[in-house]
Structure 1
C-alpha cells in the first residue's frame, strides 16, 4: 500500500501520520509497514536538540496505526467520520534501542485476538533488523457521540 491507500485507512494527517508504506498485509493475521524517520520530524527540535531521538510513545503510536490498518483490512471496511480507533491498552512495552533521524522504522504487528470490537496484538518495531521496541497492544473502534443539534 502506498501513502494514498494508507490515507484511506487512517484518519491521521501531518504531523501525526506515522505510517509511510505497507509492504505486506494478510487480513486477520499480520502487517509489515514502515515509517521513514527524517530529521524534519516535528518532534526532533525538542527531543533532543543535540541528539535527535524519536519518542517511544510515538513508536508505539506508529505500531497502533499499523494495527488499525490491519484491523480495517481484516473487517473489509474503511474508517468513517462517525467512529474512531482508540488505543485502549499497552502491556509489556520495552524500548531496546533509540530510533534516530535517518532510520527506517519497520512495524510488525500480528493479531492475537479479536472479540466484541476489541483487538489484541503483538507488536514489534525494528531498525536494520534489530528490535528497538516491542509491546502487546489493545485497540478498539468506538462510535463517536452524535453532535448536539443547535
Structure 2
C-alpha cells in the first residue's frame, strides 16, 4: 500500500532542517521498494541567491535531495526499523538540465538490490516529466 507524507511527517523521520531540508512532500511510498517525493524550488533558496545572474539548484543538491528521499524510504520500511541509511557511493551520475526557481523537482528512489545491510538504488530527478539528473546510489543500513 502506498503512503503519502507531509513535510511535518518528513521532519519526524530525518534530522535535516532548514536550510538543508529539501523534501517538501512524499507523494508515494512503497515500503522497502520505492519513494516518489517533491521539492518546490523557489528563488528565495540560498543557492539561488548566491548566483543571481543564473539562479538554479546545483546538481550536488539535486543528488542530496534524492538521498534524503532514499533515507525516508529506508526509515519507513519495516525491515529497517530503528536503523538509518548512509551513502556508500554515488555511481553513474548524469546531469541533463538545470533546475530553475519555480520548478517542481520530482524525485524517484527505487531500491534495486539488497545483500545483507548493503543495497543499491536507482534514483532519478525530473521537472515537468523531463529528466534533469539520475544516478545509482550504494547505501549501507545500520544502527543510528
Structure 1: how far apart are the matches of 2:82 and 2:11?
10
Larger radius of gyration: 1
Structure 2: how far apart are the matches of 1:57 and 1:29?
24
Q: 1:69-107: CA deviations, max 9, x gaps?
A: 11111236356xxxx632210111000010010100000
1:91-106 alignment runs, 5 A limit: 91-106=91-106
Structure 1: how far apart are the matches of 2:64 and 2:23?
10
* RMSD of equivalent CA atoms: 1.6
Structure 1 unaligned runs (5+)? 145-150
Q: 1:1-59: CA deviations, max 9, x gaps?
A: 0011111111111111111100000012111100000111111122x221101010000
* TM-score with structure 1 setting the length: 0.86
Aligned to 1:124: 124
* TM-score with structure 2 setting the length: 0.89
Aligned to 1:68: 71
* Segment of structure 1 superposing worse, 21-30 or 112-121: 112-121
Structure 1: how far apart are the matches of 2:138 and 2:80?
20
Structure 2 unaligned runs (5+)? none
The correspondence for 1:39, drawn from 29, 36, 43, is 43
Runs of 4+ in 1 over 6 A off after TM superposition: none
Tell me how many residue pairs correspond in the alignment. 139
